[in-house]
Amino acid sequence: MTELTLAQGRVDRDRLLRLLQEYGVYAGVAALLVFNFAFTDHFVSAENFRTQAVQVAPVLIVALGMALAIGTEGVDLSVGSVMALSTSLLSLYLGYGPWAAVLVPVAGGILIGLANGTLVAHLGVQPIVATLALMVAARGLALVLLPQLKDVRDPGMTALGSGDVLGVPYLVLIAVALALLVAFVVRRTTFGRQLLAIGDSRPAARLAGLPVRRVLIVVYACSGALAAVAGVLATARLTASDPTSLGTLMELSAITAVVVGGTPLSGGRVRIGGTVAGAVLIQLLTTTLVKHDLPPSWTQMAQAVVIVGAVYAARERGKR
């Protein structure tokens, strides 16, 4: 009988860790919601929900691209700087009409992504190094283009940043649409399958004839484009271009959202639903602590605990 109970204990532990990795993030979001419903004043209001959602939208969009990069066993540290470059380009090209103000920054983000991808895919530079280089370069370029903060006074931009459809802000709609699009790409397209195979076993993918380099380049280009979109939206919401501070530490928030959402850093798996929940979890965690008058530094420590927990669950599960 002892053998059975022992084996049973093992199974339970495995299952628990798996559940924690797969659904822990949703449970965390639910728990924080319940807590706030019960103990936080002024939490249950349409206005508050809207604020929360608007704040989380840019992080989420950046995290989507990050999830793709992490899925290939890579990472993209340049996303925050791409947001800064995006805001600089936006204010420079605002005079050429609303399309230019959106498309030029996105093109800039794609170019940075192509540079990342080329370094990683063709020159074999490690993603963390390649994107670190572009992180520095893109921030520098952003500051050359626009040395200091500049107000963005444009009715179109203001509408994009604070308008809504039936009470749902554009920012949130765009973020949700992009999340659905990325989830579709990962699940249903050849590109998505190839991305996962490359992340799981690069040599096997190469020998199976997959276009490894092309996929990697496209992944980083997507990450760049998404970060640029986040930069445009953040600018529209703030009605100002601030290349000095926009997007700083964004790469860390995005990585946190992805990892907490259950996407393993070892590649081969991308969880978009989890990433969305991960971004929401961090937002709620911050809000909860702030609303209960705890200093912001606590937020960072709480984030650290969540990250360690997520990585621990993933590791323990992988051991067996």
Report in angstroms how near the CB of residue 82 gets to other proteins at its nearest.
25
Report the candidate in 187, 150, 173 with the shortest Cα–Cα distance to residue 71. 187
Among 190, 249, 300, 312, binds other proteins (CB under 8 A): 190
Which of the ranges 119-127, 128-136, 187-195, 255-263 carries the binding residues for other proteins, by CB under 8 A? Answer: 187-195
Q: Do residues 118 and 217 make contact, with C-beta atoms less than 8 angstroms apart?
A: yes
Residue from the set 2, 45, 148, 297 that interacts with other proteins by CB under 8 A: 2
The amino acid at residue 277 is: A
Minimum distance, C-beta of residue 195 to other proteins, in the bound complex (Å): 11
**Helix H or strand E segment including 16:** helix 2-39
Q: Which bin fits 267, alpha (ψ -120 to 50), beta or left (φ > 0)?
A: left
Could you say which of 208, 249, 301, 308 contacts other proteins (CB under 8 A)? 208
CA atoms within a 13 Å half-sphere pointing along the CA-CB vector of 68: 35
Alpha-carbon span 96 to 68, nearest angstrom: 32
Write each residue from 147 to 186 as x if it is in contact with other proteins (CB under 8 A), else as -, in one continuous string: ----------------------------------------
Residue type at 269 in one-letter notation: R
Q: Does 245 bind other proteins (CB under 8 A)?
A: no
- The yes or no reply on residue 193 touching other proteins (CB under 8 A) is yes
298 close to 289: Cβ distance less than 8 angstroms: yes
Q: 2 or 45: whose CB is closer to other proteins?
A: 2
> Which residues lie near other proteins (CB under 8 A)?
2-4, 6-7, 10-11, 14, 188-191, 193-194, 196-197, 200-201, 203-211, 268-269
